[in-house]
Every structure is written in C-alpha cells, then in structure tokens.
Amino acid sequence: MGLGYLLMIAIALLSFGVQWRFKSKFKQYAELPLLSGLSGKEVAERMLHDNGIYDVKVISVDGQLTDHYNPENKTVNLSGDVYESRSVASAAIAAHECGHAVQHAKAYAWLTFRSAIVPIVQTASTITQWTLMIGIMLLVFSGNPIVLGVGVVALALVTAFSFITLPVEFDASNRALAWLNNNYTVMQTSEEHEEAKDALWWAAMTYVVAALSALATLVYYASFLFNSRRN
C-alpha cells in the first residue's frame, strides 16, 4: 500500500505543477496583444469558415478556462476572457476548440469513438462513487471482493476514457497550429506562433497528468484486490 500512496502523491504533485504552469502561461500570453487585433470569437469564426464549416456557432459561456466544443448542438463555447480578448492566448484556445469542430465535421475516429462511449463512462463514473469505499470496507471486514471488483472495473473504464481523450486533444491542437501557421493574417510573427504552440502544449499536458492520475488511482484500488488474493 505504501507504494500506491507514494505513486498517488507523486502524480498529485506533478498535476499541481502542470496546472500551475499552464495557468501562468495562459496569464502570460493573455497579456500579449495579437498584432492582427482579432478577438477569440473572430479567430474561431475564421477557422471554421476556412474549413468549410458554417453550421457551428461560436458563443460565450461563463467561467474561466471553460472553453469547449459541444458536438450535440454544434457550438464552440468560449469563456468570456477568450471570446472577447485579442491576445495570443485567446487565439490559440479558440483555434484549439475549433480543431474539435473540424474533427467532428471530418468524423475523426478517436472523437467519434470517445463520443460514443460517453454514456457508458458516465455510468461507470457514477458506480465508482459508491463501490470503491464500500468495496474496501466489505473486503476488509468480510473478505468479499465482489463490490470492490465492480468498482475497479468501472474505474478502469473511466481511466481508459482519460487516455482515449489524449489523441483527441493533441490532434485538435495540431489542427489549430497547422491552421494558424498558414494564416499570417491571424498571427503575423513567428514569435506569436511559438507562443501559441507553447500555450497549447501546456494545455495538453494537463490532460496527460489527468490520465496518469486516473491510472495511479486505478492501480491503488486494484492493489487491494491483488493483495487480498495473495493473502
């Protein structure tokens, strides 16, 4: 159990570090005005139209760093700071979210697969909320591993979803950067392109550590089952 605790602590510290670094990078690039003067909304609309997408709306949503693409109602949702801002950070994030819209339009396999299993993962996530702790108590006091086993399987599905998300996020960033690199009317200097690339790289790292955190949690709970069989 000691190794499991150490692994979870190490991943938690790594996650904290990456999140802090991403937020500091976002703040830094949010203060750098885009030479083209385009807002996040305008960048998003340009990228959508350049990819032949006219049925997706760009809207503003509450919160900070709440930007996302919703495939159900075909909307690129940008947080207020990104929607209105005319900074390097807002352009990079807006383009990234439009990358998901392009994936949707082109039926990108990983996005299609991830969207298809969302209902299953949501159910699995709900199951883990009550099976893991109850399962451990039943295992300790009665030796019954069934409930914990169900929780571990459900957690494994949630963990797999975290890793399936990685190619979706990296591909969206790659699509965003490729479009930005070919549109000097949006980003007009090589420095702006490098800054956008750096911002998106740190954003992607938050998904990587989230996946590793999910894996560490899975290993921790699975170790209870493994140790019970050895005993």
Q: Measured on CA atoms in the order 63, 67, 71, 74, is the torsion positive or negative?
A: positive
Please give the structure tokens belonging to residue 5. Answer: 């605790």
Residue 196 neighbours by CB distance under 10 Å: 26
Alpha-carbon torsion, ordered 177, 179, 181, 187, to 10 deg = -90
Whole-angstrom Cα distance, residue 83 to residue 67?
9
Segments in the chain forming alpha helices (H): 2-30, 40-50, 80-84, 88-105, 109-142, 146-181, 190-230
What is the C-alpha to C-alpha distance for residues 84 and 93, in angstroms, rounded to an integer?
Answer: 12
Which of these is catalytic: 42, 97, 192, 195?
97
97 is an active site residue:
yes
Helix (H) or strand (E) holding 88: helix 88-105
**Residue for token digits 């991830």?**
114
Catalytic residue numbers, as ranges = 97
